[in-house]
Structure 1
Amino acid sequence: MKKDKPDWEKYERLVAKLVSEQLSTEYCVTPNAKITGKISKKKRQIDVLIDSRHNTENENRIIIDAKIRTRRIDITHVEAFLGLMADTGATHGYLVCPNGYTKAAELRAQDSVSIRLLPLNRLENFDPSTWPNCLVPNCQNGRIFWDGYPSIDVALAPLNGGKTISISYVHYVGKCDKCSRFHVKCLSCKHILSVPHESDEDCGVQCSCGLPWFWLASIEEDHTGQRSAELHLIRGHNQILTASRRSL
């Protein structure tokens, strides 16, 4: 029998889902992100990462730490989180917990950290095991987290010379919650694509519709040298849309 995700993991995924539903489409959300620390030079695990969707720069990075604790958040948790923010270059952070926080924690958080409450009973009707499976063969129980819905508009001219009509092709874009591989789902043909970024030789992937665009992932750097994986929609020469990102 397949085991359910541990409660802490479900709690993190719930936080990611709620955040993605409330944010502007200018931002993208990555659950269970891994970022190389600017100070430690080690990979740091981030429960939920928020990046600008279309901008390679990482100056407005936000991180979230979901703490599923039976006690209140105290000042030591806030100070540890501030250290994580400094190491990952986050400009703001959210501590999410189910059972409140101490006055000292509130005072220490000040302007750069916000503390939010999310009761455990919100987990009752939430089941991330229903999300699609990651398509990477060696990924262990990864699920695809959708956080964007780009639409591609195509103008069609009838053969009889009638009025040109516009058709929109909507896609889901997201990432695996384990290995972070980009995935795309075309809502027209229902085809789910796995889009790798690990090799410069990747030439892009195309859905079963066979329409004149494809998806390509790459590694980019901002002006400070911080690296990000980016998912691009390629429609033709100089028609490139960055549809999703995740900091590295």
Structure 2
Amino acid sequence: MQTTAQLAAVRPDAETAEKAAAVLLESLGLDLSNGALAGTPRRIVAAYRELLSPHTFEMTVFPNDEAYSDLVIARTIPFRSLCEHHLLPFYGNAHVGYIPGGSILGLSKLARVVEACSRGFQIQERMTVRIGDWLEDRLQPRGVGVVVEGVHTCMERPRGRAVGTSTTPIGLRGLLRTNPRRIAGIPGPRLARGGESRLSNSDPPRSSQGLGHAGAGRSAGPARTSLADGDSLRPGAESPP
């Protein structure tokens, strides 16, 4: 996994990229002398640079002085990324939780981790793994759970004919992998035994906290919840009283 410093060192060649975009569009039969299309190569490059630029931030970690030992979860974190197979967007919501060890993470940083790991040409499974790797490497938590719900526009092409399908890789580590009580309610038939699953659901959740086709990525912001042992990491689950 490249670090954010390594990614930041990459400097795209905008001039060459614009020329290449113009060649691609003309090869597809578009007339770039048309006033509406004249600036399209430049706009394409600007859009890709925004989506591919690394997201850097300073990690804020605090000592776990109260010895908190249950699950902390941030739900419905919106993300957008680019499929490396088709260069088309995929987008949705991530739900990220961890069981602290000696440290706890600053309130906003779970959302920042999702943002950082979604940048670049990506696949959903790798994004799920990278979020888990980031938390394990920097926090040494007792458990990590990552659920990434995504809608892929490449699947919605006429050839794909899968409009409205959402795909959900799930990654569990540490106590969330080995203790079934802590993962009760996470979707996926194989999760009762612990492990990882990649689910595809042709009827996405309609909940305002879940991932609907029309509303994905437009959340007002992630909800952070602390759950006790045996409660749910399920997307959209309500906080315990």
Name the TM tier (shorter chain): under 0.3
More strand by share: 1
TM-score of the aligned structures, taking structure 1 as reference length? 0.23
Q: Tell which has more relative contact order, 1 or 2 (C-alpha 8 A, sep 6+).
A: 2
More helix by share: 2
TM-score of the aligned structures, taking structure 2 as reference length? 0.24
